Structure 1
């Protein structure tokens, strides 16, 4: 039975990845912060087959202890402070967890593996936010990185450190440069889930409007459940490498609003949407669109859920949740 250790198990990617690995017969260990983590019950309810280990990406010794317990064949580092807007308010903490946390994870794997650097295969969750002020359209694996947020900068550090450990120690370390991916499990602070929840509540008369920032920003949105399959495929390759994972399409937030409101029978969303400068980024990323040709050809991966289906899935989920709360 293969064994896997997942940091960031409480996030949407961690939950979907755990489900995928369990379905493939893995023994799965989830690494999370603190004994009283409020999301522990969510993990236990969603993926009851996962064995939970506590620790912190900022504490190298706790990662080593988790490795000794889990004895994994594959280590998926999904842990991060991942809300971009928050990273300006807490740049230091974001750098510690999202950046230096990667170094701690890599070093722990190196020390645990001793002389056999191939023993544990390592996956790093890189991000399209690393491209920031994009230099080419679409963005590929060799596109110049120009991050526009403390989060993006921290992800660049982790990305290059993963490459450095691969080249320096011969580790099987790969990075997935994942473009925006969403799901009903996305946190409510993210704009897509913020919209789907608000649309559900507005349609039920529980909310009057939604306040957003830049609704002209364009993103390459996919389904998180599809993207974790790409992570697993990277770990099955004989040679480690870096891959852009994307739908190769871009959509404005306005389009997300169009589809979400239409799902509840509202064609004109303008009366329900307000904009507030407080929700604007200090340095905006205007356009992200990936080129996942390499992943499609080498990994045999392709997204299965399209943009309209993704929006429909999220709104239907939030409608069901809100109706359940009313019952």
Structure 2
């Protein structure tokens, strides 16, 4: 509301609504690096070969954090051409099942790992599927994701392995 009111008074504002995104350096508070860090610790012999997970049936629209940063930069560089109060969804338009994401990460490990659902990691109000439409960002900013999600997952796992090795 405040941004809308300020926009009405002349503040030029561009709003970004990024959907789920991940990348190297992200904390374990998020699902993808939480999966990857558990795998890295198991591979290093620092944890038993067991991953505890929440709801693996949820479907989410994921992007690489570098693609999100690129969209922000494009919005700044094109801000003089944008209408005030323009809102951009930043999304891939694809939904990934959390179980499939975990499977892709596990496939990159040579260690046999058991997956166990942890009730403490379940969210009571988890929406089954969240997918975005980034048509406006594609059209007005010339933006599109450049990194495949598989590439992103490999980068996250490699980063987690490096962090575990340095610890």
1:322 paired with 2:161, answer no
Aligned to 1:68: none
1:216 paired with 2:54, answer no
Using CA pairs below 8 Å that are at least 6 residues apart, which structure has the higher relative contact order? 2
Aligned to 1:162: 3
Match of 1:311 among 140, 143, 153: 153
What secondary structure is seen at the aligned counterpart in 2 of 1:321?
helix
State the alpha-carbon separation in 1 of the partners of residues 103 and 124 from structure 2. 26
State the alpha-carbon separation in 1 of the partners of residues 127 and 5 from structure 2. 27
What residue ranges of structure 1 are gaps of 5+ in the alignment? 1-159
Aligned to 1:6: none
1:184 paired with 2:24, answer yes
State the alpha-carbon separation in 1 of the partners of residues 3 and 17 from structure 2. 12
Query: What is the 5 A alignment of 1:245-260?
Result: 245-260=90-105
Which has more radius of gyration? 1
* Contact 1:198/1:210, CA 8 A, preserved across alignment: yes
Aligned length: 162
State the alpha-carbon separation in 2 of the partners of residues 313 and 164 from structure 1. 41
State the alpha-carbon separation in 2 of the partners of residues 164 and 212 from structure 1. 42
1:284 paired with 2:126, answer yes
State the alpha-carbon separation in 2 of the partners of residues 323 and 275 from structure 1. 27
TM-score if structure 2 supplies the norm length? 0.89
Deviation at 1:234, TM superposition (A): 1.8
Query: What is the 5 A alignment of 1:71-220?
Result: 160-166=1-7, 168-208=8-48, 209-220=50-61
What secondary structure is seen at the aligned counterpart in 1 of 2:161?
helix
